[in-house]
Amino acid sequence: MSGTSLDGVDAVLAEIGPADQIRLIRSHYLPYTDSLRAQLLALHAPQPDEIHLAAVAANELARLYAEAVMALLDGVAPNSVRAIGCHGQTLRHRPADGYTLQIGNAALLAELTGITVVADFRSRDIAAGGQGAPLVPAFHAQALRQPGIHRVIANIGGIANITDLPVDGPVRGWDTGPGNMLLDAWIKRHRGTHYDRDGAWATSGAVHPGLLAALANHPYLKLPPPKSAGREQFNLDWLGATLNSLDQTITPADVQATLLEFTALSLADAINRECGDAQELYVCGGGAHNGALMQRIGAFLPNLRVATTAALSIDPDWVEALAFSWLARQTLHCAPGNLPAATGARGKRILGAIYPA
C-alpha cells in the first residue's frame, strides 16, 4: 500500500485461511525518496509532458515495490506467495468524471518479482457507478466486526475515512475529510519536515476560531455518504484561499493547531451525525500515532471508547496493507471486493486486474 500521504510503501506478508482468518506474518516499510515524493506530488496537477513523466514514475514505483517485496520476503521463496495485491499510487481520483488513476506498472512488478500481481482495484467500482472508495470497509467488516457491539473504524492517512460496523444493518464507509494531508503539507512548507511528530508543533499553537469555521464550511463536508475525497478537495491552494478570505494574520503554528482541530472535528462530526449509537472507535493509519490528534478526537467523542486498532491485536500501521492483500485474494477467487453501501456502486463487483507471473 502507498497512500495519499506520499510517505512510502507499506508491505505485509499475510496468510489468509479458508474462513478468511487473516494472519500477519511480517511487515516492511520502505520510505519514498524526497525526489520521488516531489515527482508524485507534482503529478497531482496538470503539467507539460505529464503522460511521459507519469509513466517514468510508474516504473520507478514498480522497482520500489519490488524492492519492498524482496526485503519483506527475506528468504521466503517467491513461488510460495500466491499474489501481490498492489494498490499503486493515486495521482487523480475523480469519480464524478468516471475515472481514478493509480500508477505503479503492475506488469513490471510481476516481471521483477516473479509473483502474480493484482492491481487497479478501484476502476471497476467506478464503472459500476460507485466512488471507487473507500474499499477497506469490506475488509474491516470481515476482520474487525464484533457481534453485539457497534464499532467504527477510522483510517487516518492523507485522507480520513471511516467504516461504520453497526450491530444490525449494512456496513457503510466514506471519506470524512482531510487526515494528515494538510498537516503534513503545512509543516513541510514552514519547517521543512515531512510530518508533525505527535502533533508537537500543532500543540504549540492555538486554534483560530475564524479559520476553523471557514475550513468546516467546505461543501464536501455537507454531502451525504457515500462519498470520497482527495487532494482535489483538500490542498494548500484551498487552504491559502481560505486564509486570504479571512484578511487576518495567523501564525503558522496557529494554522497547524487549527488544521489538527479540523481533522478531528470533521471525523467526529461524521460519526456523531451518521453512526448513531456507536460504542467504540478504533483508529489506524499514520494518524493513530499523533497523540494530540487522538486526544482531540476523544474529546469530541466523549461517549465512545477511542483507541487504536492495536487494542484489537492489529498494528495500526498495517491495517490498510492487510486490506489490499485480502482484496487481492477476493479477486483471485472471483469474489466481490466492494460494498455498494460504502462506494455507491450499483452492486457488488469483482475488483482488480490480474498480471500472472
Look at residue 18 in the predicted model and tell me its pLDDT. Answer: 84
112 CB neighbour count, 10 Å cutoff: 17
Weakest-pLDDT range from 51-55, 175-179, 209-213, 228-232: 228-232
Residue 152 forms beta bridges with which residues? 164, 281
Average model confidence (pLDDT) for the chain?
96
d(CA 240, CA 259): 12
Stretch (H or E) spanning 257: helix 252-274
Is the pLDDT assigned to residue 178 strictly greater than 90?
yes
What would be the CATH architecture of the domain defined by 8-131+317-355?
2-Layer Sandwich (3.30)
Which three cell numbers, joined as nine digits, stand for 282?
A: 478504533
d(CA 243, CA 179): 19
Question: How many alpha carbons lie under 13 Å from residue 9 in its C-beta half-sphere?
Answer: 26
Is the pLDDT assigned to residue 187 strictly greater than 90?
yes
- Asked if 353 and 119 count as a contact pair (C-beta separation under 8 A), the reply is yes
pTM score above 0.85: yes
For 265-321, write each residue's pLDDT tens digit.
999 999 999 998 999 999 999 999 999 999 999 999 999 999 999 999 999 999 999
CATH number for the domain formed by residue range(s) 136-312: 3.30.420.40
Report the pLDDT averaged over residues 57-76. 97
Is the pLDDT assigned to residue 4 strictly greater than 90?
no
Q: Fold match between 8-131+317-355 and 136-312?
A: yes
DSSP codes, 111-157: HHH-S-EEE--SHHHHHTTS-----HHHHHHHHH--TT--EEEEEES
Would you list the domain boundaries of the chain? 8-131+317-355, 136-312
d(CA 272, CA 313): 26
d(CA 259, CA 158): 13
pLDDT band at 154 (very low <50, low <70, confident <90, very high): very high
Is the pLDDT assigned to residue 234 strictly greater than 90?
yes
Report the pLDDT averaged over residues 94-120. 97
